[in-house]
Amino acid sequence: MKDRTAKDQPDSSKPSRRRFLKSGAVLAGVLGACADSGNVSDSGPRTLGDIPSPYGQRSTYEKSVRYTHLSDTPEAGPSRTPLQDSYGILTPSSLHFERHHSGVPTIDPSQHHLLIHGMVDRPLVFTMEEILRLPSVSRIHFIECSGNSGREWTTPEPTVQRTHGMLGCSEWTGVSLSLLLSEVGVQSEAKWIIAEGADGCKLHRSIPMEKAMDNIVIAYAQNGEAIRPEQGYPLRLVVPGWEGNTHVKWLRRIKAVDQPYMGREETSKYTDLMPDGKARQFTFVMEAKSVITFPSGRDKLPGPGFYEITGLAWSGRGLIKSVEISIDGGQSWQEAQFQEPRHPVALTRFRLPWRWEGQEVTLRSRCIDETGYVQPSREALIEARGLNTRYHYNGITAWRVSSDGSVQNAYA
**Dist. CA 22–CA 304, nearest whole Å:** 10
Residue type, 367: C
Closest approach of a copy of itself to the CB of residue 379, in Å: 32
Nearest-angstrom CA–CA distance, 326 and 361 = 9
174-203 residues in contact with a copy of itself (CB under 8 A) are: 180, 183-184, 198-202
- Nearer CB in complex with a copy of itself: 109/386: 109
Residues 13, 46, 72, 188: which binds a copy of itself (CB under 8 A)? 46
For residues 143 and 237, is the Cβ–Cβ distance under 8 A? no
Site for a copy of itself in 91-130 (CB under 8 A): 91-96, 98, 100, 102-110, 113-115, 117, 122-130
- Find the binding residues for a copy of itself in span 356-385 (CB under 8 A): none
Phi, psi of 224 (to 5 degrees): 90, 0
Q: Which residues contact 350 (CB under 8 A, 6 or more apart)?
A: 290, 310, 311, 312, 313, 323, 325, 336, 337, 338, 339, 365
**Residues within window 198-257 making contact with a copy of itself, judged by CB under 8 A:** 198-202, 220-221, 223-226, 228-230, 233-234, 252-253
Shortest spacing between CB 85 and a copy of itself, in angstroms: 7
E strands, 267-345, are 272-273, 279-280, 289-294, 305-314, 320-326, 334-335, 337-338
The one among 12, 14, 15, 34 contacting a copy of itself by CB under 8 A = 34
For the bound state, the minimum distance from the C-beta of residue 279 to a copy of itself, rounded and expressed in Å, comes to: 28
* Nearest alpha carbon to residue 25 among 302, 249, 212: 302
87 counts as binding a copy of itself under rule CB under 8 A: yes
* Smaller CB separation from a copy of itself, 1 or 262: 1
Shortest Cβ 277–a copy of itself spacing (Å): 34
User: Quick check: 406 binds a copy of itself (CB under 8 A)?
Assistant: no
Binding region for a copy of itself (CB under 8 A) out of 167-175, 210-218, 315-323, 371-379 = 167-175
Handedness of CA 383, 385, 389, 392 (dihedral sign): negative
Region 138-157 residues binding a copy of itself, contact defined as CB under 8 A? 138
User: What's the half-sphere exposure (Cβ side, CA atoms, 13 Å) at 327?
Assistant: 19
Closest CB to a copy of itself among 37 and 331? 37
Nearest to 81 by CA among 284, 267, 314, 242: 314
Select 141 or 378, whichever has its Cβ closest to a copy of itself: 141
Which is nearer to a copy of itself, 159 or 283 (by Cβ)?
Answer: 159
Q: How far is CA 3 from the centre of its chain?
A: 19
10 binds a copy of itself (CB under 8 A): no
Q: Which of 64, 206, 293, 409 binds a copy of itself (CB under 8 A)?
A: 64
> What does the per-residue mask of binding to a copy of itself show for 309-348, with x meaning CB under 8 A?
-x----------------------------x-x-x-----
Answer for which of 68, 215, 362, 388 binds a copy of itself (CB under 8 A) is 68
d(CA 259, CA 99): 26
Name the one range near a copy of itself by CB under 8 A: 80-88, 158-166, 266-274, 376-384. Answer: 80-88
Give me the phi and psi of 246, to 5 degrees please.
Answer: -80, -15
Closest C-alpha among 256, 291, 309 to residue 393: 291
Cα(126)–Cα(181) distance, integer angstroms: 13
Omega of the bond prior to 295 within 30 degrees of 0, cis?
yes
